[in-house]
Amino acid sequence: MSEKFSPALRIGDLNDFIAPSQGCIVGQLKPNSVKPVNNSEKRAKAGPPVTTEPVKISLKDCLACSGCITSAETVMLEKQSLDEFLSAINKGKTVIVSISPQSRASLAAQYDLSPLEAFKKLTTFFKSLGVKAVFDTSCSRDLALMEACNEFIVRYKQRQSGDDDRSKTSLPMISSACPGWICYAEKTLGSYILPYISSVKSPQQTIGAVFKRYLCQKMSLRPDEVYHVTVMPCYDKKLEAAREDFAFEMEYPDANNVYGDLMAAEVDSVLTSGEVLELIQLKSVDLSSLDESPLDRMLANVTDDGYLYGVNGSSGGYADTIFKHAAKALFGRDTNGPLEFRMIRNSDFREVLLEVEGKTVLRFALCYGFRNLQNVVRKIKIGKCDYDFLEIMACPSGCLNGGGQIKPRAGQSAKDLIQHLESVYMKDVLVADPFQNPIARGLYDEWLEQPGSDKAKQYLHTEYHPLVKSITSQLHNW
């Protein structure tokens, strides 16, 4: 949709998932930053209109004060754009692209392909531009799920034993893969909610850590020589990639064999599904007509029979996978097949229970959309939340409905598109326990040792921080 590239963000036109409240005000306070934003002429309390030049802001300037962070129309950032991506290729950098399964499904649906066909044709397309390798984030998703399973077991046992000082606040454990939710939690909810949030990085940042912090060294590449791009269903992933927590000091010597203090990012740039579609159209390419290229198997989550490793759940399968793992590890119960989540308030709030000898021992829930997560957060705050785990996503219907996904075709409703995407998402997919993924197991054997190890915590976990609201973040249009 072309409006997302316009210098004016039409906040009033948005159907936001978080809180459409006001136009971006940062530009008025930082006139020398980096990208044109929504800055119409402002009238002083007394006197004629004040005319200003278009201003530029960076992602770090964002106050998350309105819906632009979690909507389909968002600030286009200088370092998170198609131009920057193409520039990195032209400069001769080693460009790596990692595609999320949700974006793969969005592009597959757009061109009436299966996800595996889309993956192979996207590999052809990106390599024709000069990209060196194309991976998918389902492998890093399995790493993140394995870490989250281990973290949940530890928290559950701590609560049962009471040995840990945080035993009263360790559950419910809340998934941390949605950056829109994380942004809201840090900037709005304060410190009381953060102890509940899983410390495991999202699949995007996990694959960034794997490539920049391990594989670069294995391949004798400096992290700053590699430009790592992810393709995501969500504009918030741009915000996530720019977090200072995910920048690290390079451990590679320069030409004089001296270690510098240069910082590298795990993910250098994020493109949405819609932006990739625009790039395909810009290059006058029909994706469906391209040849299929062999996949780069180093981090491509594909079986020898040509199936994609997958999980139940189009938003990463956190609740489904952790529930099954906990049922087996804690209570010896096998739960084969997809879980039957019972709808509570609406289709975006569903729960699943495990009963042992007539007693409920596990209670998990899917909580999608801002209205539902507000209700859950309120219950946590007053100590009346009975769930052990919450898979929280800011977008209604979860990640397949992310603001960066390709929009419905003419005559197609948003609901019909989501149903179609859910069907496409599971094509070519072999649903398997992440612990059986040979690529993920190999990374533990070679590098991380085991889920929850010191190395795994160093590279695959992070911290979240309550942010003090600035005066500007509380202002309305003026």
Q: Does one domain contain both 252 and 103?
A: yes
Token representation of residue 232 = 């995501």
Q: For 326-346, give the secondary structure using H, E and C.
A: HHHHHHCCCCCCCCCCEEEEE
Say if residue 52's pLDDT is above 80: no
Q: Answer with the one of 265, 299, 333 that is the final residue of a domain.
A: 299
Choose the final residue of a domain: 262, 279, 299. 299
Contact by Cβ (8 Å): 121, 290: yes
**283 and 208 inside one domain:** yes
Number of domains in the chain: 2
Q: Parallel, antiparallel, or unpaired for β 389-393 and 359-368? A: parallel
Q: Give the tens place of pLDDT for each residue, 255-299.
A: 555 555 678 889 999 999 999 999 999 999 999 999 999 998 888
Residue 318 lies in a domain: no
Q: Are residues 4 and 125 in the same domain?
A: no
Query: Does residue 435 carry a pLDDT above 60?
Result: yes
Mean pLDDT of 59-66: 47
Per-chain mean pLDDT for the chain: 80
Residue 274 domain flag: yes
Domain encompassing residue 36? 1-75
Q: Are residues 135 and 231 in the same domain?
A: yes
Q: What is the pLDDT of residue 169?
A: 55
Cα–Cα distance for residue pair 6/76, rounded to 1 Å: 9
Return the exposure string of 393-428: e unless at least 16 CB atoms fall within 10 Å of the residue's CB, then b: bbbbbbbbbbbbbbeeeeeeeeeebbeebeebbbbb
Q: Are residues 12 and 134 in the same domain?
A: no
Q: Is the pLDDT of residue 5 over 90?
A: no
pLDDT at 285 (0 to 100): 94
Q: Please answer whether residues 147 and 451 qualify as being in contact, where contact means their C-beta atoms are separated by less than 8 angstroms.
A: yes
26 occurs within a structural domain: yes
Report which of 205, 278, 189 is spatially closest to residue 238, judged by C-alpha positions: 205
Q: Are residues 207 and 70 in the same domain?
A: no
pLDDT tens, position by position, 442-461? 999 999 999 999 999 999 99
Q: Retrieve residue 57's tokens.
A: 């802001």
Q: What percent of the chain has pLDDT over 70?
A: 77
> In 113-177, where do the E strands start and end?
133-136, 173-174
Final residue belonging to a domain, choices 274, 299, 324? 299
pLDDT of 71 above 70: no
pLDDT one-digit tens code per residue, 112-144: 999 999 999 999 999 999 999 999 898 999 999
Q: Does the residue 324 lie in any domain? A: no
Q: State the pTM of this model.
A: 0.82
Please provide the DSSP assignment of 27-56 as one string.
Answer: HHH-TTSSS--S---EE-SSSSEEP-----
Where residue 35 falls among pLDDT bands split at 50, 70, 90?
A: very low
Spell out the residues 6+ positions from residue 131 whose beta carbon is closer than 8 angstroms to its own: 89, 95, 96, 97
Pairing relationship of beta strands 173-174 and 389-393 according to DSSP bridges = parallel
Radius of gyration of the chain from its Cα atoms, rounded to whole angstroms: 22
Asked if residue 234 and residue 87 are part of one domain, the reply reads yes
**Same domain? 8 vs 133:** no
Say yes or no: 89 and 59 in one domain.
no
Helix (H, G, I), strand (E, B) or coil at 270: strand
Q: Which of 123-132, 163-172, 424-433, 448-457 has the lowest mean pLDDT?
A: 163-172
Do the domain assignments include residue 197?
no
pLDDT band at 417 (very low <50, low <70, confident <90, very high): very high
The answer to the question of residue 321 being in a domain is no
